Amino acid sequence: MKNKNALRLAPVAVLVAAMLYPAVPAAAALQLPISLPAGEGCSFALMLDGSGGIIQTTEFKDKDGNVVRVLEAGKGVLLTYTNLDTGESVTIRTDGSVASTRVNADGTLTVTATGHNGLILFPTDIPAGPTTTHYIGKLVYDIDPVTGVFTFVTSSGQQRDICEELG
């Protein structure tokens, strides 16, 4: 696995799961299933699997050809989170989401996501994880591509604490 601090769930209904690599503003699809050891996504070992979905990505560039914003939209992804210690799982049908990732002047990224989205925060993030949360509504977080640190900004709507459900 690449740098564990770079592994994240981008807008879940949009990408199922994604890797955000430092210094890369757009998310790249990740091969599922993925497994995280205890203490990374939850206090227990966690697996994420997904299937289906229709996803469209549009990049917006400035006059010099630099990507300044990425818009992702999709629907129809089935996600399954599994507690690898107990075998208990939760499956979520995502009904769609849109995510806008903006490249800020300082090089950080701001993601604004609406619809069905998941976010895993590690112990190195702000606030410190491990947490795995599925949101239905609006979610905003920042990413420092140099350090790989995610900073949760705000959310509105419904939240599902996947770690609590499976713990």
pLDDT for 139-155, tens place per residue?
A: 999 988 888 889 999 99
Nearest residue to 166 (alpha-carbon basis) of 61, 86, 55, 111: 86
Asked if pLDDT for residue 30 goes beyond 80, the answer is no
Average pLDDT over residues 17-38: 53
Residue 31 binned pLDDT confidence (cut-offs 50, 70, 90): low
Average pLDDT over residues 122-149: 91
Rg of the chain, C-alpha, whole Å? 15
Q: Which residues pair with 154 in a beta bridge?
A: 140
Contacts of 45 (CB under 8 A, 6+ apart): 35, 36, 37, 38, 83, 84, 85
Asked if pLDDT for residue 132 goes beyond 80, the answer is yes
Q: Which domain holds residue 26?
A: 4-166
139 with 158: CB under 8 angstroms? no
Domains in the chain, number: 1
pTM of the model: 0.78
